[in-house]
Structure 1
């Protein structure tokens, strides 16, 4: 049996949200205000970045499980 949670993406997203939110607040930045000021290009780039990172994590997880 694996020690991995059934929904790793949900947990990972929560951790990322927490870390980003904490970092922004420590630096005096309101995350809700920043979201409103992002250009469409910036939103697209962030979405692509998240998709790329998700793909890399999934590949890593699959590779780790096949190595065992």
Structure 2
């Protein structure tokens, strides 16, 4: 599994935006599709909300990539 550290610049980032910014997907639409398909985990739990607010300290996993939000 590839590990990516993501430095948060505000209070939170929307899940589908994080997937795009971190390079897991190539577009926002692809990020939304991944979430809709059930392929995204947040802190070890499946996440189905496209715009779930991801805060510092959380870990997102998708397509073999682990994103640690700092």
Q: TM-score, normalised by structure 1?
A: 0.30
Structure exhibiting the larger radius of gyration computed from Cα positions: 1
Higher relative contact order (CA 8 A, sep 6+): 2
Greater helix percent: which structure? 1
